Amino acid sequence: MQIKIFGPGCAKCHQTEDVVRAAVAESGQTAEVVKVSDMLEIAAAGVMSTPAVMVDGKLMSLGKVPAKAEVLSWLAS
C-alpha cells in the first residue's frame, strides 16, 4: 500500500503526515508513506487544495487534516 501526502510544507501538511504515520503504525499494516511537496507534482496529481492524502492512487482527503479514525478506515478497506 502506498500513501502519498501532498503539501508544500505548511503546518497542516506536517500534522497530516503525523496523523497518517500514527494511523499506519496503529493499524499494523505495512504502508509506504511519501510526502510530496513539489508544487508541480501536486498540481499534476489533480490536487488544488492542500494538504491532500492519496491512498494507492485514490484521493481520499483534500484541504484538511484528516482525523486518525478516518485514516484508519481507509487503511482497513
Partner 1 sequence: MNSERQPACACAAPAAPAAPAGLGRYLFWGLPLLAAWFALYRFLPDLSRWLTYDLLGLAPGGHLADAVEFFLYDTPKVFMLLTLVVFGVGLVRSYFSPERTRSILAGRREAAGNVLSASLGIVTPFCSCSAVPLFIGFVSAGVPLGVTFSFLIAAPMVNEVALVLLYGLFGWKVAGLYLATGLAVAISAGWVIGRLGLEHWTEDWVRQMRAAPDMAPEDRLSLADRVEYALEAVREIVGKVWPYVVAGIAVGAGIHGYVPQDFLAGIMGKSAWWSVPLAVVLGIPMYANAAGVVPVIQALMAKGAALGTVLAFMMSVIALSLPEMLILRKVLKPKLIAVFAGVVGAGILLVGYLFNLVL
Residues 57-76 that bind partner 1 (CB under 8 A): 58-67, 69-70
Which residues 6+ apart lie within 8 Å of 49 measured at CB?
62, 63
Please report whether residue 5 would count as binding partner 1 according to CB under 8 A. Answer: no
E strands, the chain, in order: 2-6, 32-36, 52-55, 58-62
Q: Which is nearer to partner 1, 33 or 62 (CB)?
A: 62
Please report whether residue 15 would count as binding partner 1 according to CB under 8 A. Answer: yes
Please report whether residue 39 would count as binding partner 1 according to CB under 8 A. Answer: yes
**Residue in this structure with the C-alpha cell 485514490, named with its chain if needed:** 58
Task: Find out whether 60 and 66 touch, Cβ atoms under 8 Å.
Answer: yes
**Could you list the active site residues?**
10, 13
Can you give the binding site for partner 1, defined by CB under 8 A? Answer: 7-13, 15, 39-40, 42-51, 58-67, 69-70
